[in-house]
A = this chain, B = another copy of it.
Amino acid sequence: MLSAPDGRVVVTTDLLIEGRHFRRDWSSGYDIGRKAAAQNLSDITAMGAVPTGIVVGLGLPSDAALTWLDDLTDGFRDECDLVGASVAGGDITRCDLVVIGVTALGDLGGRAPVTRSGARPGDLVAVAGRLGHAAAGLALLREGRDGPAELIEAHRRPAPPYACGIEAATFGATSMLDVSDGLLQDLGHVAKASGVALVLDPEAFVIPPPIADAARQLGADPLEWVLSGGEDHALAATFPVHARLSPAWTVVGHVIEGEGVQVKGVSLVRGGWDHFHE
Interface residues of A (CB under 8 A from B): 1-17, 20-21, 53, 55-59, 88-97, 99, 101, 103, 105, 108, 113
For A8, A9, A21, A108, the residue with the greatest tally of chain B CB atoms inside 10 Å of its CB is A9
Cβ-defined contact, A4 with B1, below 8 A: no
Whole-angstrom distance between the Cβ of A117 and the nearest chain B Cβ: 13
Whole-angstrom distance between the Cβ of A24 and the nearest chain B Cβ: 16
Cβ-defined contact, B11 with A105, below 8 A: yes
A105 to B56, CA, bound (A): 14
Cβ-defined contact, A59 with B99, below 8 A: yes
For A8, A89, A91, the residue with the greatest tally of chain B CB atoms inside 10 Å of its CB is A91
Q: Which residues of B contact A95 (CB under 8 A)?
A: 15, 17, 20, 99
User: Would A7 and B8 be within 8 Å (CB), given that A13-B57, A15-B58, A94-B20 are in contact?
Assistant: no
Number of identical protomers: 2
A12 to B9, CA, bound (A): 15
Cβ-defined contact, B94 with A17, below 8 A: yes
Cβ-defined contact, B8 with A1, below 8 A: yes
Whole-angstrom distance between the Cβ of A91 and the nearest chain B Cβ: 5
Q: Which residues of B contact A9 (CB under 8 A)?
A: 1-4, 9, 105
A58 to B57, CA, bound (A): 12
For the A-B complex with A2-B11, A5-B7, A13-B103 known, give 12 more contacts whose Cβ atoms are closer than 8 Å.
Answer: A1-B9, A1-B10, A3-B7, A9-B9, A11-B89, A13-B56, A13-B91, A15-B101, A17-B59, A96-B97, A99-B101, A103-B103
Whole-angstrom distance between the Cβ of A87 and the nearest chain B Cβ: 11
Of the residues B8, B11, B16, B99, contact of A103 by C-beta under 8 Å:
B11
A166 to B220, CA, bound (A): 60
Cβ-defined contact, B3 with A103, below 8 A: no
Whole-angstrom distance between the Cβ of A252 and the nearest chain B Cβ: 27
Q: Which residues of B contact A2 (CB under 8 A)?
A: 8-11
A192 to B101, CA, bound (A): 28
A103 to B15, CA, bound (A): 12
A77 to B237, CA, bound (A): 32
Of the residues B10, B11, B57, contact of A15 by C-beta under 8 Å:
B57
Nearest-neighbor residue (CB-CB) of A103 within chain B? B103
Q: Which residues of B contact A16 (CB under 8 A)?
A: 93
Q: Which residues of B contact A21 (CB under 8 A)?
A: 93
Cβ-defined contact, B5 with A91, below 8 A: no
A8 to B113, CA, bound (A): 18
A48 to B53, CA, bound (A): 21
Q: Which residues of B contact A101 (CB under 8 A)?
A: 13, 15, 57, 99, 101, 103
Q: Which residues of B contact A17 (CB under 8 A)?
A: 59, 93-95, 99
